[in-house]
Structure 1
Amino acid sequence: MHLPPLISDLGLILASAGITTLIFKKIKQPLVLGYIIAGLLVGPYLDFLPTVTDRKSIDIWGEIGVIFLLFSLGLEFSFKKLVKVGGAASITAIVKVLFVLGTGYLVGKLMDWSDMNSLFLGGILSISSTMITIKAFEELGIKHKKFAGLVFGVLIVEDLVAILLLVLFSTVAVSQQSAGPEMLQSILKLGFFLILWFLGGIFLIPSFLKATKKLMNDETMLVVSLALCLIMVILADKVGFSAALGAFIMGSILAETTQAERIEHLTKSVKDLFSAIFFVSVGMLIDPSMLVKYAGPIIIVTLVIIVGKILSTILGALLSGQPLKTSVQAGMSLAQIGEFSFIIASLGLSLKVTSDFLYPIAVAAAAITTFTTPYLIKLSEPFYNLLIKILPKKWQDGIDRYSSSTEGITKLSDWRILLKSYAFNTIIHSVIIIAVIFLAYRFIQPFMAKHVSSELSSTLISVIISFILMAPFLWALSIRRIQKTAYSHLWLNKKYTRGPLIAIEFFRIALGVFFVGFLMYKFFDTWIAAGIALVLIVLVMIVFSRKLQSFYNKLEKRFILNLNARENQKPDILPWDTHLTEIMVSPESEVVGKTLSELMIREKFGVNIAMIERGKITIPTPGREERLYPNDKLLLIGADDQLAGVKNLLEVDLPEIEAESNFPDKEMTLQKVVINTESPVYGLSIRNAGIREKAQALVVGIERGTDRILNPSSDFIFDNGDVIWIVGNSKKIKEVI
């Protein structure tokens, strides 16, 4: 039996990826870099190792990898997060992207590259890597630092900007010119479908998941999640967008559901597998001779990434009102490129508008900046201290005054509140109404014409169905009262505001009439018939206004419940959401000299202290009477928000202490153990099992069926099938459990 090349190639790819990533894990380097080198080794340009034979099949696997990679990024994205990151992150991200995009284009032109190569180079350089940045923050234990919130916000905004760049670059590549009308049309089209998909997804998908919750075991949930992802990929492709966009949108919709964490957990292995294949396929495109030939451009591009991103991020953060220290730390955290850069580079190759040398240059620059990222983050505070010494005192005072003044710009006037609400109301309902009109014209009318013999009857039925679907949204667009309090305040000011308010209301009604007229225009041949139908429909709207209001309120209530379901659900912190981190007790902290029983850290914050390191003394799983002293290093386990609360208690916000961690040498890890009838602790309580005393370990979470218990009491009795999450010395845990 002949083995298909696809299977042998896949085996070769995974084997090379496995070996290189083990090596990179050992030397504590990013795994993405290992995947790229694995691709280089099995690629067509090096022949001292077995080489992949069926390149087309691997490209398909790579495309699947992009889909699941973007799906997972969408799960971490969430449109509501984009709203919450605020103006600071948005301003910083936009300034940074525009600056680096322009700089990349100019650098390309200075190197005598074509317009398309230069444009794609700017796009490749402008987007920082979410994966690499988050991984670096986790490894350095700084996810709770003040600047980390700004960095995560910038990354969220950049993810959306990257999707926009993919659409714009596709348009420019096809037209081979930066034609304004085509780009504007693409932006409007993207905005239309983003709003439509988000509204439809939030209204339908959470309701579907809630209705089928009892039927959803892990296997079914995995299959359904991937099916939803691929359905959106197909929809995106049908309307002319990339598969990556569809996957990202579905991920961001599912991120708003109560099942988001579960889906993210279940799809992680699938994402990891196909992402590995994608990054290996990226490495396979690297020609070593090309790297030697273009060593100069690679160095220049790398310098643009590091210097350009640091400067532009600092500038953007300062403009948004951030302090100098936060701006510098954020800038030095975002000086790299990653997954979106590879996707943009792949787009240029697939559209055949960029030269062969651009992709290897981008990958080489990504590899170098991936390597430098952790070191730049560590150097951010020393660099800030250097700036403080160098910058004139007047500049520093000016930055501080600007930062303080922007913090107070938060009050919204009645006009701003009202106009913002009207804008959202108009855009959202206009999108829905336009979608209904085109749905009716493209699908409902042809269906009726096929099944109803009379042409007039089929047209009338189509119009009636269309209008019934449109009516609640027409009422909300043209008649519904919005922000009644702000509206009343403005209406009472007769002299200056009644005229503009009347104009706004007239515009709303006129827009509703326009949409109804547009519907009539689509279905009727004569203006007379369309005019009669228009008058009748407007009268119906007025007569049934109260019923439309009631029906619309039900739709809106369902949408808002689905939108806020994840935030409103009872706290259910899953054991795998917890992680280990190190915090040093500041000498100035109020906890110094107090016992753990007095501080009640576990009771107040839900955080366990796994170890205390005091000089050369190590105290694993400390008892309740243990006291905390200045500069004690605590190894804590908890969720992000819990650890953030404890950090504020233990650390005083003075110049931050960056201490080298010795805990990994103690082999303290968070691990999962499944209890069976042969386990030594089966049938025993946590107290009687003596896990703390014998293994110097803590039981921090237990899964029993669908129930999950964080910080179980000492009276909890172990049963067959229990999944125990435990932190401690891995060797000793194996001896006891």
Structure 2
Amino acid sequence: MGGAFLAAAVLARVGGRIGLPTIPLFILAGILLGPHTPGVVLLDDPHDLEMLSALGLVLLLFYLGLEFHLDDLKKGGRKMALAGGTYLALNVGAGLGFGFALGWGTSEALVLAGVLGISSSAIVTKVLVDLGRIGNPETRPILGIIVVEDVFLALYLAALQPILSGADSLGAAVLDGGKAFGFLLLLALMARFGTKLVGKLMNTEDDELLVISFLGVAVFVAGVSEWFGVADAIGAFMVGLMLGSTTSGPRILKLVHPLRDAFGAIFFFAFGLSINPGDLPSVLWPVLAAVAVTVLMNVFAGMATAKIYAFGPKATANVSTTLVARGEFALILATMAAGAGLDERLSPFIAGYVLLLAVLSPLAAGRSHWLARILPGGRTRNRETEKEAVPV
């Protein structure tokens, strides 16, 4: 554990001096010190960090929920659903088409639809925080799209599980999907109507008791969410949504910050441990093609979101580049595919695809103004800005 933290810290410090984001550096630390590369091996089994990694993801999404106020959901629900639905239609549809084009099989294509279609909540959250964009107007639609993706994720996993396991019971699939949706609905109702009660229960002037209380609630609900077939991350997000609207919300936001950073680093480090660089060359061209498809679909999705919210080129570029990242959900699908005995090329493909986008997304998001220049209206906006800047 100490080695993992120190390796992530050293690489992040070095990267910071040359302007690199921390996410790919944490992942690189995991690759270099994992069992698949020569030299020092901190952990022979990446699963040794599984619980701490899960805690990092829970805290990242819990923090996101604290920032995403309930009023934002109520005000922009229709636009959020439209933007999220458009994003999923473009990316999941492209992923399904790409999967069939590879010719690896129907089950493999269904897995790839999810891999290419759904963003990494953890990486998107970290990028927004690192770039100081939490308060930007385009951030609310970005977070809204993530919420819609997570709702879709719960239903998608429930439908995919019986297909991968070979089950032919439609009733079982419908039951699992209904259970997941029902629990999501319960969480939403609690977030909408239970805020005052939760606020009273959480209210305390003692920081120690407050930390123990909000950690207990966030982790417990995340665990229960998994039992109902809902991603643990969305359960933590809903708890953050509830607590962010209470009188203790600002204090919780401040107290969870260092915990989020520490265990978030372990999440990305553990992701790196699972990657075997030796498997990547065999799937290099499919990975590059998938990355190109994802980038293109995200630009289209960003333009569609901008049209819904009447954003300019700069905000459009921010939406397009921030949502490019793929991560934890793709790794879950890789594990499911391996357990189901699907094509052995899937695991290295997913690892290479996720790694490349984990590196590309923070870099692209930090330089989104380059994309803004070539989007419709971008050059015109730049000329207007230049004219305004000329002294009279």
TM-score scaled by structure 2? 0.83
Matched letter for residue 153 of structure 1 = P
Aligned length: 381
Structure 1 residue 281 displacement after superposition: 0.8
Q: Which residue of the partner structure matches residue 336 of structure 1?
A: 324
Structure 2 counterparts to residues 522-541 of structure 1, below 5 A: none
Which residue of 198, 202, 206 maps to 2:188? 198
User: Deviation per CA, 1:513-551, whole angstroms, max 9, x where unpaired?
Assistant: xxxxxxxxxxxxxxxxxxxxxxxxxxxxxxxxxxxxxxx
1:374 aligns with 2:358: no
Larger relative helix fraction: 2
Structure 1 residue 387 displacement after superposition: 7.5
Larger radius of gyration: 1
Residues 33-42 or 102-111, more deviating: 102-111
Q: Distance in 2 between matches of 1:658 and 1:183?
A: 60
Larger relative strand fraction: 1
Alignment check: 8 A CA contact 1:42 1:51 kept: yes
Residues 133-142 or 266-275, more deviating: 133-142
Which residue of 206, 209, 216 maps to 1:217? 206
Alignment check: 8 A CA contact 2:60 2:264 kept: yes
Q: Distance in 1 between matches of 2:387 and 2:49?
A: 44
Which residue of 102, 108, 133 maps to 1:111? 102
Note closer, same or farther for the CA distance 1:256–1:190 as it changes in structure 2 (3 Å cut): farther
Structure 2 counterparts to residues 535-684 of structure 1, below 5 A: 655-656=384-385
Note closer, same or farther for the CA distance 1:156–1:183 as it changes in structure 2 (3 Å cut): farther
Q: Distance in 1 between matches of 2:90 and 2:169?
A: 21
Structure 2 counterparts to residues 16-415 of structure 1, below 5 A: 16-129=7-120, 148-176=136-164, 184-200=174-190, 203-204=193-194, 206-210=196-200, 213=203, 215-318=204-307, 320=308, 322=310, 325=313, 328-329=316-317, 332-334=320-322, 336-338=324-326, 341-350=327-336, 352-353=339-340, 355-374=346-365, 377-384=368-375
Alignment check: 8 A CA contact 2:314 2:372 kept: no
Unpaired stretches in structure 1, ≥5 consecutive residues: 1-9, 390-651, 660-737
Note closer, same or farther for the CA distance 1:125–1:334 as it changes in structure 2 (3 Å cut): farther
User: Deviation per CA, 1:587-615, whole angstroms, max 9, x where unpaired?
Assistant: xxxxxxxxxxxxxxxxxxxxxxxxxxxxx
TM-score scaled by structure 1? 0.46
Q: Distance in 1 between matches of 2:15 and 2:334?
A: 30
1:15 aligns with 2:15: no
Q: Distance in 1 between matches of 2:188 and 2:121?
A: 22
Identity of aligned residues (%): 20
Structure 1 residue 280 displacement after superposition: 0.6
Note closer, same or farther for the CA distance 1:91–1:326 as it changes in structure 2 (3 Å cut): farther
Q: Which residue of the partner structure matches residue 396 of structure 1?
A: none
Note closer, same or farther for the CA distance 1:345–1:26 as it changes in structure 2 (3 Å cut): same
Alignment check: 8 A CA contact 2:88 2:117 kept: yes
- Structure with higher RCO (Cα < 8 A, 6+ apart): 2
Note closer, same or farther for the CA distance 1:112–1:383 as it changes in structure 2 (3 Å cut): same
Matched letter for residue 152 of structure 1 = R
Provide the secondary structure at the position in 2 that maps to 1:655. helix
Note closer, same or farther for the CA distance 1:252–1:337 as it changes in structure 2 (3 Å cut): same
Note closer, same or farther for the CA distance 1:134–1:55 as it changes in structure 2 (3 Å cut): closer
Q: Distance in 2 between matches of 1:264 and 1:285?
A: 31
Residues 268-277 or 248-257, more deviating: 248-257
Cα RMSD (Å): 3.5
Alignment check: 8 A CA contact 2:275 2:351 kept: yes
Alignment check: 8 A CA contact 1:124 1:342 kept: no
Structure 1 residue 345 displacement after superposition: 2.2
Alignment check: 8 A CA contact 1:88 1:317 kept: no
Alignment check: 8 A CA contact 2:324 2:361 kept: yes
Alignment check: 8 A CA contact 2:180 2:228 kept: no
Structure 1 residue 224 displacement after superposition: 0.4
Structure 1 residue 133 displacement after superposition: 5.5
Alignment check: 8 A CA contact 1:297 1:361 kept: no
Alignment check: 8 A CA contact 2:155 2:181 kept: no
Alignment check: 8 A CA contact 1:286 1:359 kept: no
Unpaired stretches in structure 2, ≥5 consecutive residues: none
Q: Distance in 2 between matches of 1:385 and 1:154?
A: 20
